[in-house]
Structure 1
Amino acid sequence: MNLEANKQLCRDYFTAFLKRDVDWMQKHIAPSFVRHDPGLPFEVRGPAGVAQLHDALMPAFPDMKLPLEDFVAEGEKVLVRLRVQATHTGPFGDMAATGRSIDIGVLDLFQIRDGVLIEHWALLDNLGMLKQLGALPA
C-alpha cells in the first residue's frame, strides 16, 4: 500500500470511529490490533476494542468532532495530528456531565500492514481536557 493510501486509511478510521461503523472496523482493523493509550482504564484490542472505546466516549461527548490537521507517513506508519472538540453532556468515567466544551490536541501514530491497521499509539492532552472540564484548576 502506498503512503497516500495509508493516510486515507487513517482518515477513514476517524470517520468510522465517529459513526461506530463496525463493518468498516472488521475489514480494516486487525484482530490483533492494540491501541496504546495510558489515559484509558481498559485495553483496546481489535475491532471490538475500538467499538468499546466509541461506546465509552460518545455518550459523554455525543457532538464530538475530530478535525484532522496534519498527516506524516513513512513506511508502515502514519502520524496524525488532530483535535478533539466536543461538549461534555454525559457521564465520563466517574465525572458527571459538566456541560463544558473541550478542544484538545491529539497525536495518533498508526501502524499499517497489508492495508490493515495493526497498532496505534495515542497521545492526548488529558491535562488540558481535565482543566477545560473543571476537574483541575486552570
Structure 2
Amino acid sequence: MIPSEEKERVDRHKALVREFIDAINAQNWNKLDELVAIDFVRLSDATGKPGICNRDQLKEFLRREVETFPDGFESIEDILAEGDKVAIRQRFEGTQLGWMASSPSGKKLKAEYIAIYCVQNNQIVEAWVEWDNLNGLKQLGHL
C-alpha cells in the first residue's frame, strides 16, 4: 500500500503535468513561468540534439509549433507517476499550415508519443519526449 503522503505528492505531480498540457493547448506561455523551471531541459532523439536547454527555449519551440500547426492540440491518453517522475502517453493532432522543418503540407498529423516529466519543487525540471518522426513525415507527405 502506498503511504498517503506519497500518493498526495504523486497526485500533485500528475495535476501539475496536466496543467502544463492545458497551458500549451491554451497557448498560455506566461503560465509556463509558474509550471516550468527556468533551467528546464527537454531531451528528444526525434527532434535532434542538443534539445531544449531552458524555459525560454521551450516557449520558443512551442510558439513555432503553433505557427506550424495552428489548430494543434495535445491530449493525455495515459498518465502514470511514481516518485518525481510522471510518464504520459500523449496524442498530438494538428494541420501543418506553417513551415517548421519542411514546407506546409496542409495535411493533418496524428501522432502519439511518450513523455516522461521530472518534477521538483512543484515545477517541471526535465522532460524526455520520443515519437515516431518517420511516421509523422509520411502522414504530412514529406516522404
Q: TM-score under structure 1 normalisation?
A: 0.90
1:1-138 equivalent positions in 2, closer than 5 A: 2-40=9-47, 43-93=51-101, 95-136=102-143
- Could you list the runs of 4 or more consecutive aligned residues of structure 1 that deviate by over 3 angstroms after TM superposition? none
Higher helix share: 2
Contact 1:22/1:47, CA 8 A, preserved across alignment: no
Structure showing greater radius of gyration is 2
Unaligned runs of 5+ in 2: 1-7
Identity %: 25
Q: TM-score under structure 2 normalisation?
A: 0.87
Q: Distance in 2 between matches of 1:30 and 1:121?
A: 15
Q: CA RMSD in A?
A: 1.5
Unaligned runs of 5+ in 1: none
Query: Counterpart of 1:107 in 2: which secondary structure?
Result: strand
